[in-house]
Amino acid sequence: MSTDLTRRRTLQAAGAAALAAGLSSLTATTAHADDTAEGDNAAPKLVTYPIPSGVATRASFKVRVRTAPDGEWQTLACYDHGVKEINATTGSGKVWGSSMVYFDFRGSVEIEVTYLKGGTTKARVRPDSYGITSELLGDTLRFTLDEPKDVVVQINDEIFDCLHVITNHIDPNPPSADDPDVIYFGPGLHSLSGDILYVPSGKTVYLAGGAVVTGQISFKDAEKARLRGHGVLRPRGTVGGVQLDHSKNIRVEDVILLGNGLGCWEADGGVVKKVRVFTWGQWGDGLPLYCSKNITYDSCFVRSSDDSHSIYAHRGELYGDTRDVTIKNATLWADVAHPINIGTHGNSDAPEMIENLVIKNVDILDHREPQMNYQGCIALNAGDSNLIKNVRIEDVRVEDFRWGQLLNFRVMYNTTYNTSVGRGIEDVYIKNLTYTGTHANPSLFLGYDADHAIKNVTFENLVVDGLVIADSMRKPRWYKTTDMVQWHANEHVIDLKFLTTAEAQAAAAS
């Protein structure tokens, strides 16, 4: 199908669906008319979008929002999406219903959430690091956002029947639907022809606020192309999500992915910014990456039914090193497996590297994994002759999670997935890692043998439940530092250090 025909059909579908949803194209245009420039002195503004007819909604919450302090209230319908729970005894999975709303704003907004099931005794707005306080009156709570953030509202510590609130800045420069370089999806429900849209090089796909697109968006062999907008992409069956497939210099921004994630397959150069991912199916990795380089994930929110981030080398038809990958400003919730998992898959015949990784300013909200082989909020698991090298982890805050380990660093030969032992893990620096909670199993640091070891791992300002863990802390002289947090490092872990910030600064200055 030609690009012109694709655009014509999507525009026709947009008009019909927008009318059905009660939002005319004039309203959509007006919503952006005075947003060509945002500044500190611009008037507060709120833009909401109806859910198109034919898209599932959920009625656990009544949600209203207004510009603070006294704007007109607008009521938001909630998207229905799944979240996964694994039965630790049988291994079977159950999908629970959950809720999501989204909107755009400038200035400050007040959000009112009423739990329609009743019986509310407490409420929590996460991540905790945002310091958001709420006022609870019966089954209704109110809180304020001074800038766009993605948060989770939990009532009575409910894990599954939560409200996920996704917010954006108002788009200051939306493209024209008539732009020949844009494949435009306006408000309403759309289905992709053949369930997959292959994006040509140089093109931009735009999902306007209020758009719901069914299918997959693929950047196969594309260069300098883009996906952006405040709409939703959902799968048809298992065909969905976004793929950066042997692509170069692709940018994906702001979109919401319900049911499938975004994968990088031998991609070179990519920015994935403020992408929101919800998965609840089998093998539901949120942001998987294989054999890719120069990829930055910035300000993404992931709630996943497998690893939220998975970073690997070779598997299947994908070959090559993985390097220069950054994850920053993220919020991660893994209902199954790891929030961040690095290193499992590689090439035993022609060993590969996974190197130069940065993980910075991350909130980890949950981790639940009963299998010992797959625990670790952050896991560095070198298998398949991989060498994991030069990893920087900084400013990571881990809230109390349900089941698993804070860290799992392991050179392994997992016969389920590996054909050889990993070569090793080297040069890892972890600064300002904080865990607050009581559910963590002991973290494990396990080299395989003397030739497949973990080398040169340094912690600076590790804080566990308010206690700074350092080799210089007061402890019985026969205790290891890891004993103070009930962690275990075996004899094939070489040069493991725990420093205070002052000690690290003194060592750097010497």
C-alpha separations of 395 from 242, 342, 360 in Å: 29, 18, 6
7-10, long-range: CB within 8 Å, 24+ apart, which pairs? 7/177, 7/182, 7/183, 7/184, 9/193, 10/183, 10/184, 10/185, 10/186, 10/190
Residue 414 is predicted with a pLDDT of: 96
171-187 pLDDT tens trace: 999 999 999 999 999 99
pLDDT band at 32 (very low <50, low <70, confident <90, very high): very low
For residues 287 and 415, membership in a common domain is answered with: yes
Do residues 150 and 276 share a domain?
A: no
Q: Decide if pLDDT at 16 tops 90.
A: no
Owner of token pair 């802390």 = 473
Last residue of a domain, one of 116, 136, 155: 155
Confidence at residue 37, expressed as pLDDT on a 0 to 100 scale: 46
Q: How many CB atoms lie within 10 A of CB 84?
A: 22
Closest CA to 141 of 41, 17, 505, 151: 151
Which one-letter amino acid corresponds to residue 477? R
**Does the structure show a pLDDT above 70 at 196?**
yes
Q: Which residue in 301, 257, 309, 326 sits closest to 127, CA to CA? A: 301
pLDDT in tens, 226-242: 999 999 999 999 899 99
> Is position 400 within any domain?
yes
Which amino acid, one-letter code, is at 118?
G
Rounded distance, CA 204 to CA 190, Å?
17
Residue 26 lies in a domain: no
For the cut 90, the answer to whether the pLDDT of residue 1 exceeds it is: no
Q: Is residue 363 part of a domain?
A: yes
Q: Which domain holds residue 87?
A: 43-155
Q: Tell me the range of 13-22, 35-44, 300-309 where mean pLDDT is highest.
A: 300-309
Looking up residue 396, the CATH number of its domain turns out to be 2.160.20
pLDDT at position 42 is 82
Q: Is the pLDDT of residue 390 over 90?
A: yes
How many angstroms separate the CA atoms of 477 and 457, rounded? 22
Binned at pLDDT 50, 70 and 90, residue 11 comes out as very low
pLDDT above 50 for 3: no
Last residue of a domain, one of 132, 155, 178: 155
**Lowest-confidence segment of 11-20, 167-176, 314-323, 327-336 by average pLDDT:** 11-20
Is 3 part of a structural domain of the chain?
no
Per-residue burial over 396-428, b if 16 or more Cβ lie within 10 Å, else e, is bbbbebebbbbbbbbbbbeeeebebbbbbbbeb
Whether 456 is in a domain gets the answer: yes
* Per-residue confidence band for 117, with pLDDT thresholds at 50, 70 and 90: very high
pLDDT bin (cut points 50, 70, 90) of residue 28 is very low
197 inside domain: no
pLDDT above 70: percentage of residues in the chain: 92
Q: Give per-residue pLDDT as tens, 398-416.
A: 999 999 999 999 999 999 9
Q: Is 335 a domain residue?
A: yes
pLDDT of residue 2: 38
Q: Report pLDDT for 320.
A: 98
Is residue 96 predicted with pLDDT exceeding 80?
yes
Q: Domain count of the chain?
A: 2
> What's residue 25's pLDDT?
30
Report the pLDDT value the prediction gives residue 147, as an integer from 0 to 100.
Answer: 97
Q: Does position 31 have pLDDT exceeding 70, yes or no?
A: no
> Which of 100, 121, 155 is the endpoint of a domain?
155
Residue 40 pLDDT > 60: no
pLDDT value of position 41:
67
Length of the chain: 510
- pLDDT tens by residue, 342-386: 999 999 999 999 999 999 999 999 999 999 999 999 999 999 999
Model pTM?
0.92
With a cut of 50, say whether residue 10 has pLDDT above it.
Answer: no
- Mean pLDDT, the chain, rounded, equals 93
* Residue-level pLDDT at 510: 85
Q: Does some domain include residue 248?
A: no
Q: What is the mean pLDDT of residues 217-225?
A: 98
